[in-house]
Amino acid sequence: MPRLWLPILLLASSVSASPWAPTTPIPTARQEVAVAVLGGEVYVIGGFDANRDGVPTVEIYTPAPPAGGAPGPDTGSWRGAAPLPVALHHAAAVGLGGRVYVIGGWLDLFQTASSSVFAYDPALDEWTPVASLPAPRGELAAVVWEGRIYAVGGSRALFGEEVAVDDFAVYDPALDEWTPLPPLPSPRNHLAAGAIAGRIYAAGGRSPFNVGTLEAYDVTLGQWLPPLASLPTARSGIAGAVLGGRLFVFGGEQFPTLTFDEVEAYDPRVDRWAELTPMPVGKHGIGAGVVGDRIYVPAGAPLSGFDTTDLSDVYRPGEELDLDGDDVEAGTDVCPDFFDPDQGDAEGDGVGDACDNCTLAANPDQRDTNAPIDDAPGIPGEQRFGDACDADLDDDGTVAPSDFFSVLRPCLGASIPATPACAVADLDGDGVVGPSDFFGGLRPALGSAPGPGLTR
């Protein structure tokens, strides 16, 4: 049976805003970077600089807190980290178990591939070598599934020429050991990969020309499955990311003539690709990292071949796809990342009940000043209460002077967690109950009525 590609025509009236927005530019412009996410931060590792030299540079992006609704510019911040032990480009990277792993890559201009694997500990700001790949390779892709790292495809030099390989192996951090797996049926490099529901997907790449091949390895069966619906736009130098049970493929190049701005998403439930809003600028040599409901695509090259940019972007697919599967059209879904078919919004603040951290009082920006404090340990998903609910300290349904006299005043001067019973009064989350909790938290909410019987 022929496979189907399902285009989605994105008319201005069908979405509320562009799903793309710029982020703070990366300090070091480069391409062929490795990208990983750990602890809600995006790591951009190694790559080529403007002089065609591999670099050991590591920079970390802390995204700005989401403000709800369509994304505007993400004004997060960058900081440096300990450089790689060696300069690398065309490596792969993943975050797992509190560490970032960098796998393989090229040590020079495509003559010496690396088999090294390094693990970064953010607490120590330190890189440590771990077990090497079974064979050296660059231009590979890597993903995590159930606590293990799968490294697929890539290339290495043969008689001075760059040759695509079919290498496939899995790393177990607990054993510090790589195990070879059945080879990739279609050898290729510069590919994208993703892990969804026990399958490792390998999409696109080149060998030596661009391909749209999509193949999947079933972890339980221990074998590759028959080819799936091809990536509609054959390309290489791409980035892949998984969100909402879909594999997203970004950008790429047709070496040496052009770059791609295409964004296409694969839904394994129906074996179909969707064409989505293009990138603001076509780029190759990129990576992608998922933080919450957003996909970050930093750095890369706008021109095919050796080029660099500091431009970085963030993409929120929930603006144009029904990622939560509730059959509510993207762009009109008041809670695009949580199943909410009836679009309940109890207090009418424009934030759906399924993702609202304070359903009993209007809190449209979802502000939660004391976010580190678990206001609701009994709620699945460790949901936190927003400020509009937190200010009702005595849970009588109204923010009133009684909240000050019966709860906040007796706790004045108390430190948290030394006095855990007073944690509810630490409205600004600074670890101490003080005047700031009254002036900045309780007083602005006086007179509001979150509703009685709120369980903390």
Q: Mean pLDDT of all residues in the chain?
A: 86
Section 350-358 average pLDDT: 80
Mean pLDDT of 229-256: 96
| Tokens 């509810």 found at | 424
| Residue after which a domain boundary falls, among 294, 319, 344 | 319
- The reported pLDDT for the residue numbered 278 is 98
What phi and psi values does residue 48 have, to the nearest 5 degrees?
Answer: -95, 140
How confident is the model over 202-238, as pLDDT tens digits?
999 999 999 999 999 999 999 999 999 999 999 999 9
Does residue 302 sit within a domain?
yes
What percentage of the chain has pLDDT greater than the value 90? 60
- Examine the fold and report which residue of 264, 297, 319 is the final residue of a domain before the chain moves on: 319
Q: With bands split at pLDDT 50, 70 and 90, how would you rate the model's confidence at 397?
A: low
- Summarised one tens digit per residue, pLDDT across range 261-317 is 999 999 999 899 999 999 999 999 999 999 998 999 999 999 998 899 999 999 999
| Residues 275 and 368 occupy one common structural domain | no
* pLDDT exceeds 60 at position 149: yes
Q: Which residues of 231-259 are buried (b: 16+ CB within 10 A; e: fewer)?
A: bbbbbbbbbbbbbbebbbbbbbbbbeeeb
Task: Let me know whether 229 and 85 are in one domain.
Answer: yes
Strand-pairing partners, residue 84, are none
**Domain-located, residue 343:** no
Contacts of 116 (CB under 8 A, 6+ apart): 85, 86, 104, 129, 132, 133
Return the pLDDT at 68: 53
> Does 8 score more than 70 pLDDT?
no
Q: Report the CATH number that the domain containing residue 94 is assigned in CATH.
A: 2.120.10.80
Average pLDDT for 243-262: 95
Residue 335 within a domain:
no
- Looking at the predicted structure, is the pLDDT value of residue 14 above 60? no
Residues 314 and 364 in one domain: no
Give the list of residues 6+ apart from residue 442 with CB closer than 8 angstroms, or none. Answer: 391, 393, 399, 403, 404, 408, 427
- What tokens does 381 get? 């998903």
Q: Is the residue at 339 inside a domain?
A: no
* Residue 234 belongs to domain spanning: 4-319
Cβ contact 107:86 at 8 Å: yes
Give residue 351's pLDDT.
82
Residue 373's pLDDT is: 56
Q: Assess if residue 108 is contained within a domain.
A: yes
Note the pLDDT of residue 404.
84
Confidence check: pLDDT of 126 > 50: yes
Q: DSSP readout, 301-362?
A: BSSSSS------EEE-GGGTS-TT-S-PPTTT-SSTTS--TT---TT-SSS-GGG-S-TTS-
CB 422 within 8 A of CB 373: no
Q: What is the pLDDT of residue 444?
A: 72
Residue 127 has pLDDT above 70, yes or no: yes
Q: Is residue 436 part of a domain?
A: yes
On whether the pTM is more than 0.85, the answer is no
Does residue 182 form part of some domain?
Answer: yes
Check residue 380 and give its pLDDT.
41
Cα torsion angle, 203, 205, 206, 212, sign: positive
| pLDDT above 80 (res 60) | yes
Does one domain contain both 312 and 387?
Answer: no
pLDDT band at residue 168 using 50, 70 and 90 as cut-offs: very high
Closest CA to 297 of 257, 258, 252: 252
For residues 425-449, give the mean pLDDT: 77
Query: Considering the domain boundaries, does residue 341 fall inside one?
Result: no
Same domain, 304 and 375: no
Residue that is last in its domain, among 298, 319, 340? 319
Residue type at 381 in one-letter notation = G
Number of domains in the chain: 2
Residues 257 and 185 occupy one common structural domain: yes
Please report the pLDDT score of residue 376 as a whole number. 54
